[in-house]
Amino acid sequence: MKIPDKITSTEALESFLAEPYSQTIDAMRNMKGDIIILGVGGKMGPSLAHLAVNATRRAGVKRRIIGVSRFSNPAQQKQLQHWGVETISCDLSKPEEMEKLPHAENVIFMAGRKFGSSGTEPETWLLNTIVPGMVAQYFRKSKIVVFSTGCVYDFACRETGGSKESDRPRPVGEYASSCLGRERVFEYYAKVYNCPTLMFRLNYAIDLRYGVLTDIGISVYNELEIDISVDDVNIIWQGDANNRALLCLEHTDVPPAILNITGSEILSVSNIAGEFGKIFNKEVRLNGEPNTCSYLSNAAKSVKLFGEPAISVGQMIRWTADWIRQGGETYGKPTLFQVTDGDFLMA
């Protein structure tokens, strides 16, 4: 994979996010069957589907890559089709729609709900627990990679090196509890149907259009205060996370495998802000007192399986700084990484 010095347009970003590892190409050559990605219409799904198409083509094999979402953003559906992804518009919470989906040997479940406004908690539980039950039963003959989150763990202190897969989950707050609910429902049906499954516990993917680095970089650029009450974070380039998601299809198991997906380093928000300050030549305005613990995951198991992520933290910071300076597209969706009470509701 050739790593560019600069990423200067959305097209270039999309193209690089969809670059497969050589391991991913090999995995696509050896894998049997089609891949269906449920909840493809979000921040990560389009680049994952695009990557799956590229890796499959470069492996010289044929398979359907099917992307399923409601496609609230119709332009996204067109873009996916242009990349060679077959799209199906479907609301997964409606059984009559879900049960028309084609079966595929490989399923990646990405539909999820994190942010909402007060009063929409029932929708979060519907999407994060009831829909998984429907999907797990319908796709019981498939392998399933379930996108989950490091928020299912309790907060961890920097000295511990982060939560490990063997740690007992202790979710804080309603969103994290619903995410553990999603895992437990998939785990239940994996055992009932002997369905190989893997819980993909992700911490903070970095795309230039959103993510922890974009949140911090934009604040430094605009000389806004940065809340450092959560000073420790893990991040991973979205292309690395997506390559790992495809590779995880080979590591599903019964009972389900669990894998933390993030970078090896525990980073400090104040240090990252300092790096942006130097690049932008701006004064950094920090606010608050660091809490001792935050959402931190130990990536050792996934790094042992797949190697270190291809993109370093320094490279991500430089790309993000260039992106902000050139006024690159952003989604306007903050990660809310500073949340420590588990409450991700917006006013």
Ligand X SMILES: NC(=O)c1ccc[n+]([C@@H]2O[C@H](COP(=O)([O-])OP(=O)(O)OC[C@H]3O[C@@H](n4cnc5c(N)ncnc54)[C@H](OP(=O)(O)O)[C@@H]3O)[C@@H](O)[C@H]2O)c1
Instruction: Identify which of residues 25 and 178 has a Cβ nearer to ligand X in the complex.
Output: 178
Residue from 25, 127, 135, 313 binding ligand X (CB under 6 A) = 127
Distance CA 229, CA 338 (A): 7
Exposure pattern of 199-222 as b/e (b: 16+ CB <10 Å)?
bbbbbbbbbbbbbbbbbbbbbbbe
Q: How far is the CB of 278 from ligand X (least distance, A)?
A: 26
Instruction: Identify which of residues 55 and 179 has a Cβ nearer to ligand X in the complex.
Output: 179
Q: Is residue 263 a contact partner of residue 211, using CB atoms and an 8 Å limit?
A: no
Residue from 47, 69, 106, 178 binding ligand X (CB under 6 A) = 69
Distance CA 89, CA 167 (A): 38
Instruction: Identify which of residues 127 and 284 has a Cβ nearer to ligand X in the complex.
Output: 127
Indicate whether 46 belongs to the interface with ligand X (CB under 6 A).
Answer: no
Residue from 70, 140, 158, 184 binding ligand X (CB under 6 A) = 70
Quote the Cα angle for 151-173-117, to 5°.
Answer: 105
Indicate whether 24 belongs to the interface with ligand X (CB under 6 A).
Answer: no
Indicate whether 112 belongs to the interface with ligand X (CB under 6 A).
Answer: yes
Q: How far is the CB of 232 from ligand X (least distance, A)?
A: 16
**DSSP-based three-state secondary structure for 198:** strand
Radius of gyration of the chain (CA): 19
Per CB under 6 A, the segment of 41-49, 224-232, 249-257, 305-313 that binds ligand X is 41-49
Indicate whether 50 belongs to the interface with ligand X (CB under 6 A).
Answer: no
* Tokens (6 digits) for 328: 């690159």
Distance CA 234, CA 204 (A): 7
Residue from 16, 83, 139, 147 binding ligand X (CB under 6 A) = 147
Nearest Cα residue to 295 out of 346, 347, 229: 229
Instruction: Identify which of residues 147 and 306 has a Cβ nearer to ligand X in the complex.
Output: 147
Indicate whether 149 belongs to the interface with ligand X (CB under 6 A).
Answer: yes
Q: How far is the CB of 287 from ligand X (least distance, A)?
A: 24
Residue from 13, 18, 45, 266 binding ligand X (CB under 6 A) = 45
Indicate whether 91 belongs to the interface with ligand X (CB under 6 A).
Answer: yes
**DSSP-based three-state secondary structure for 267:** strand
Nearest Cα residue to 239 out of 27, 52, 37: 52
Nearest Cα residue to 231 out of 176, 294, 282, 171: 294
Instruction: Identify which of residues 39 and 162 has a Cβ nearer to ligand X in the complex.
Output: 39
Residue from 8, 15, 23, 93 binding ligand X (CB under 6 A) = 93
Q: Answer left, alpha or beta for residue 77, where phi above 0 means left and psi between -120 and 50 means alpha.
A: alpha
Instruction: Identify which of residues 41 and 196 has a Cβ nearer to ligand X in the complex.
Output: 41
Task: Report DSSP state, residue 345.
Answer: E
Q: How far is the CB of 62 from ligand X (least distance, A)?
A: 26
The CB density around residue 4, as the number of other CB atoms within 10 Å, is 13
Indicate whether 202 belongs to the interface with ligand X (CB under 6 A).
Answer: yes
Q: Which residues in this chain contact ligand X in the complex, by CB under 6 A?
A: 39, 41-45, 69-72, 91-93, 110-112, 114, 127, 147, 149, 202, 204-205
